[in-house]
Amino acid sequence: MRTKSFAILGLGKFGQSVAETLHNMGHYVLVVDNCEESINHISANITHAILGDVTDEALIKSLDLKNFDAAIVAIGDNIQSSILSTLLLKEAGVKYILAKAQNELHATVLKKIGANKVILPEKDIGIRVAYSLVTPNVLDLIELSPEYSIVEMTVPENWAGKSLKDSKIRNKYGINIIAVKNGNSLIVAPSADYVIKNDDTLVIIGSNSDISKIGK
């Protein structure tokens, strides 16, 4: 795997988690924050840490981030700083900008000024919690749109021991199984004759309304 370079602006819990995870994966990680305590805390766990204002145009320009693979705007509690730093990254020629937003309006503004991807962590957690309550088999979820998602789930008891063809999952629920994981084994686009095992993990795609019917 090629070593990539990432810049993290803002060191709240989200920014710190992203920075340390990327560094542990073997990538070059540069972090910038105006809190000396945060910088001192993380400096030993990432590649390079800089104490500074992420809205300082001169500082952002001096970092020469246009050659980085991506920059992450992880500022949590200051929408103005989040927007300004995103704009400065865009003007600096950063190839890919991921930004954290507090709400939908904030997310809309970030997209308008050049963020390639915007995430709302609290919203995403809320969606996962809701699905785990309604459909206990759901392990993880990726929202493709407000209507459709990809879900990783354990096998419902009445599916185990049946082939995909005999279980008629698509006809009953309107979903498609796009992959099956079992230990270190991964089967992409399993055939209709594949027999579902109790300890399989299924990766499915479908509408949110259809996914919510699983297990009922």
Token pair for 119 = 């995430």
Higher pLDDT, 215 or 51: 51
- Per-residue pLDDT, 149: 85
Strand order in the sheet with 28-33: 48-51, 28-33, 5-9, 70-73, 97-100, 117-119
CA distance 121 to 118: 10
CA 85 → CA 91, 127, 170, 211, distances in Å?
10, 28, 46, 38
- The CATH 3.40.50.720 portion of the chain extends over 5-119
Asked if pLDDT for residue 29 goes beyond 70, the answer is yes
Please say if the pLDDT value at position 72 is more than 90: yes
Cβ contacts of 56 within 8 Å, gap of 6 or more: none
Q: pLDDT tier at 61 (50, 70, 90 boundaries)?
A: very high
Q: What is the pLDDT of residues 34-49, one digit of tens each?
A: 999 999 999 888 999 9
The per-residue pLDDT for range 150-161, each reduced to its tens digit, is: 888 889 888 999
Q: Give the model confidence (pLDDT) of 114-137 as tens digits.
A: 999 998 877 776 766 666 666 667
Q: Does 3.40.50.720 match the CATH number of domain 5-119?
A: yes
Which CATH number does 124-211 carry?
3.30.70.1450
Write out the H or E segment, with its range, that includes residue 175.
none
